[in-house]
Structure 1
Amino acid sequence: MDVLIFSTSVSAPEQVTKVQPLLTSVQAIQDFNFDLEDCDNILRVVADDLSPRYIETLLNNAGFLCTELEY
Structure 2
Amino acid sequence: MSIILFVTNIQHSDLEMLGAVLGDIPGVVKWTIDLEDCDHVLRIVGNGVCSDMLQGKLNEAGFTCRRMLDS
For normalisation by structure 1, the TM-score amounts to 0.90
Task: Give the corresponding residue for 2:31.
Answer: 32
Percentage of matched positions with identical amino acids: 27
In the alignment, structure 1 segments of 5+ residues that lack a partner are: none
Q: Deviations over 1:6-65 (max 9, x none)?
A: 001102x22111111110111200000111011110100000111111111111011110
**Structure-1 separation of matches of 2:30 and 2:40:** 17
Long gaps (5+) in structure 2: none
Between structures 1 and 2, the one with greater strand share: 2
When normalised by structure 2's length, the TM-score is 0.90
User: C-alpha separation between the residues in 2 aligned to 1:3 and 1:35?
Assistant: 15
| Divergent runs of 4+, >3 A | none
2:50 aligned with 1:51, yes or no?
yes
Cα distance in 1 for partners of 2:65, 2:30 equals: 17
